[in-house]
């Protein structure tokens, strides 16, 4: 089996999707699935699926396909969903509150244990069952609770400084929603910069392509 650190980024990016699809199959009580069936559902080629899963030692059996529960569990382990990484969220504005409320951290390997905001008017307000703390309490909280992941929902101007402070306090990973691409200057720190707007721009580009093709077809007719 390949070491997790040696798996290509493109394979890692596909794993959450495998995990989600397999979870849905499990809910539908499907016990096993062939790579061909899985490929049809996921719109990937069967050989792509076999190649991806072979990176981790392969889970299928010739002529049987994949045991859905086993594969779901194995991919979950690879993704770390059984780890319950202690997570804090910084910035309890519109986005921060929506994320704290609507993202199921527990089923994705994370356990949200603290929410912080610089605005004193928010201190003590409850979101997702957690009382918001003032940012002045972050140092003490991190020393006592040692969170591993920080979700950043703050304006971009403050992002690098806050991230630097959190790294000094032992945080190892950032799920960064601020419109600032956190540089990965630190050793062994994981960063996921998320820009929902980039996804919309990709959609706009593809919409543009379709509309232009339609216009060309109309002009030909």
Contact positions vs ligand NAI (CB under 6 A): 90-96, 116-119, 135, 153-156, 158, 162, 177-179, 194-197
Question: What is the DSSP code (8-state) at residue 93?
Answer: S
Least Å from the CB of residue 170 to ligand NAI: 18
- Closer to ligand NAI by CB, 81 or 132: give it: 132
What is the C-alpha separation between 203 and 212, in angstroms, rounded?
14
Least Å from the CB of residue 122 to ligand NAI: 6
- Closer to ligand NAI by CB, 35 or 193: give it: 193
Which residue lies nearest ligand NAI, judged by its C-beta?
93
- Closer to ligand NAI by CB, 15 or 150: give it: 150
Least Å from the CB of residue 195 to ligand NAI: 5
Q: Is 23:71 a contact under the CB 8 Å cutoff?
A: no
- Closer to ligand NAI by CB, 58 or 93: give it: 93
Least Å from the CB of residue 43 to ligand NAI: 25
Looking up tokens 């509150």, which residue turns up?
A: 97
DSSP code per residue over 151-189: EE-S-GGGHHHHHHHHHHTT--EEEE-SSS-----STT-
Least Å from the CB of residue 215 to ligand NAI: 31
- Closer to ligand NAI by CB, 49 or 166: give it: 166
Q: Is 124:131 a contact under the CB 8 Å cutoff?
A: yes
- Closer to ligand NAI by CB, 198 or 212: give it: 198
Q: How far is CA 12 from the centre of its chain?
A: 11
**Of 109, 161, 105, 153, the residue nearest 129 (C-alpha):** 105
First to last CA, the chain: 56
Backbone angles phi, psi at 149, to 5 degrees: -120, 140
Least Å from the CB of residue 158 to ligand NAI: 4
What is the C-alpha separation between 12 and 17, in angstroms, rounded?
10
């Amino acid at each position: 089996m390949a070491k997790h650190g040696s798996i290509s980024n493109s394979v890692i990016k596909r794993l959450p999707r495998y995990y989600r699809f397999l979870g849905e199959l499990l809910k539908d009580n499907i016990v096993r699935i062939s790579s061909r069936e899985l490929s049809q559902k996921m719109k990937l080629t069967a050989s792509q699926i076999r190649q991806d899963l072979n990176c981790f030692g392969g889970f299928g059996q010739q002529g049987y396909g994949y045991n859905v529960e086993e594969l779901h569990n194995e991919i979950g382990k690879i993704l770390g969903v059984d780890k319950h990484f202690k997570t804090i969220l910084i910035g309890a504005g519109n986005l921060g509150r929506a994320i704290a409320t609507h993202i199921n951290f527990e089923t994705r390997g994370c356990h949200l244990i603290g929410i912080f905001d610089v605005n004193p008017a928010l201190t003590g307000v409850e979101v997702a069952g957690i009382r918001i703390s003032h940012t002045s309490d972050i140092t003490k909280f991190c020393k006592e609770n040692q969170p591993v992941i920080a979700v950043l929902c703050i304006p971009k101007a403050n992002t690098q400084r806050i991230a630097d402070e959190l790294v000094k306090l032992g945080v190892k990973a950032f799920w960064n929603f601020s419109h600032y691409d956190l540089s990965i200057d630190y050793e062994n720190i994981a960063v996921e910069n998320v820009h929902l707007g980039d996804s919309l721009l990709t959609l706009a580009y593809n919409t543009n392509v379709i509309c232009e093709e339609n216009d060309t077809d109309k002009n030909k007719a």
